[in-house]
């Protein structure tokens, strides 16, 4: 039987864009099946997965667990979760700075309320892991049971955004990756911290995210157990990875600065000419 494909369950605002760049570096060109266009319908996604080319090695996208069952060669699903309150805050303010987002106009008009979005997104992580859409009707206890069972029995590796570097090293072992460095992508900047939110808004977010919090807490315990099972060399690997990330981000910052300087000088010469 052919080798199963790896399957990244990309939950929005869990550092998935950074991870997508890493994925591209770990698989041969042309072997990554992605769905960057959010307008692609469910039927089209399902058809693409069922009919994936033989060279496909990994499927990645905003796809819930249920899509893994469509892979004709079987799959090795993995995912990244994030503290639910932090994920929601990042999502809310990402919408406000991303004109292509379908809620951008409503945000700019002041019509997208935190409570309204929390109502729709509060169980999103649990739904992705359980294999359903956030809009699907499902009792909380059943949703939690399905999500935690998938995390424990089927998902081969679970990472945590807050512990991204350690997560990558777990992926290295579970998926055969050789990640040695990366640069962060699509970070939501200028977003308030929890202590800067209105108390009533923070209370709403926590209330609506209660299911996601239970699933995240369960995933965190699994994560800690897998970290505890790592060999003594794990700490050395982690330190080495962090040194390389710091170096890569420093180089990226310098290049970005030089690019801005060149652009400014070019504009100045144009004015003088």
Burial (Cβ within 10 Å: 0-12, 13-18, ≥19) of residue 99: exposed
Q: What is the pLDDT of residue 271?
A: 44
Beta bridge partners of 9: 61, 79
Other Cβ atoms less than 10 A from the Cβ of 124: the count is 22
Q: What is the pLDDT of residue 137?
A: 83
Question: Can you tell me the distance from the alpha carbon of 1 to that of 113, in angstroms, rounded to the nearest whole number?
Answer: 50
- DSSP E strand stretches across the chain: 5-9, 32-34, 58-61, 75-81, 157-160
Q: Which long-range contacts (CB under 8 A, 24 or more apart) does 173-178 make?
A: 174/76, 174/78, 175/6, 175/26, 175/76, 175/78, 177/22, 177/26, 178/26
Helix (H, G, I), strand (E, B) or coil at 2: coil
Write the DSSP symbol of residue 95: H
First to last CA, the chain: 67
Q: What is the pLDDT of residue 261?
A: 46
The CA-CA-CA angle for residues 64, 67, 69, to 5°, reads 130
Calculate the CA dihedral of residues 264, 268, 269, 273 and round it to 10 degrees: 150
Write the DSSP symbol of residue 32: E
Q: What is the pLDDT of residue 272?
A: 52
Question: Which H or E run contains 130?
Answer: helix 124-130
Are the C-beta atoms of residues 188 and 93 closer than 8 Å to each other? yes
Ramachandran angles phi, psi of 13, nearest 5°: 60, 45
Are the C-beta atoms of residues 64 and 128 closer than 8 Å to each other? yes
Predicted model pTM: 0.86
- DSSP string of 251-272? HHHHHHHHHHHHHHHHHHHHHH
User: Measured in whole angstroms, how far is the alpha carbon of residue 79 from the centre of its chain?
Assistant: 7
Sorted by where each begins, the domain ranges of the chain are: 5-82+125-189+216-230, 231-273
**Digits of tens for pLDDT over the chain (273 positions)?**
578 999 999 999 999 888 999 999 999 999 999 987 666 788 999 999 999 999 999 999 999 999 999 999 999 999 999 999 999 999 998 888 888 888 888 888 888 888 888 988 889 999 999 999 877 889 999 999 999 999 999 999 999 999 999 999 999 999 999 998 887 775 666 677 888 888 999 999 999 999 999 999 999 999 999 999 999 999 999 999 999 887 766 545 445 554 544 554 555 454 455
Reduced 3-state DSSP string for 147-180? HHHHHHHCCCEEEEHHHHHHHHHHHHHHHCCCCC
CATH number of 5-82+125-189+216-230: 3.40.50.300
């Amino acid at each position: 039987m052919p080798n199963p494909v790896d399957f990244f369950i990309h939950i929005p605002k869990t550092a998935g864009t950074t991870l997508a760049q890493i994925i591209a570096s770990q698989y041969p060109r042309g072997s990554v099946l992605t769905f960057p266009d959010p307008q692609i319908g469910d039927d089209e996604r399902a058809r693409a997965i069922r009919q994936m080319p033989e060279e496909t090695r990994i499927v990645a996208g905003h796809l819930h667990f249920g899509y893994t069952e469509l892979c004709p060669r079987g799959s090795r699903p993995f995912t990244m979760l994030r503290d639910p309150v932090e994920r929601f805050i990042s999502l809310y303010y990402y919408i406000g700075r991303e004109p292509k987002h379908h809620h951008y106009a409503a945000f700019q008009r002041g019509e997208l309320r935190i409570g309204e979005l929390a109502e729709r997104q509060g169980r999103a992580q649990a739904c992705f892991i359980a294999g359903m859409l956030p809009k699907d009707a499902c009792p909380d206890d059943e949703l939690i049971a399905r999500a935690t069972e998938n995390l424990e029995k089927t998902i081969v590796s679970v990472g945590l955004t807050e512990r991204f570097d350690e997560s990558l090293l777990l992926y290295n072992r579970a998926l055969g990756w050789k990640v040695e460095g990366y640069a962060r992508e699509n970070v939501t900047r200028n977003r308030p911290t929890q202590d800067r939110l209105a108390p009533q808004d923070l209370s709403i977010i926590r209330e609506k995210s209660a299911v996601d919090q239970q699933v995240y807490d369960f995933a965190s315990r699994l994560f800690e157990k897998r970290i505890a099972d790592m060999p003594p060399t794990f700490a050395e690997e982690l330190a080495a990875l962090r040194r390389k990330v710091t170096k890569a981000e420093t180089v990226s910052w310098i290049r970005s600065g030089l690019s801005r300087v060149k652009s400014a000088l070019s504009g100045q010469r144009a004015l003088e000419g």
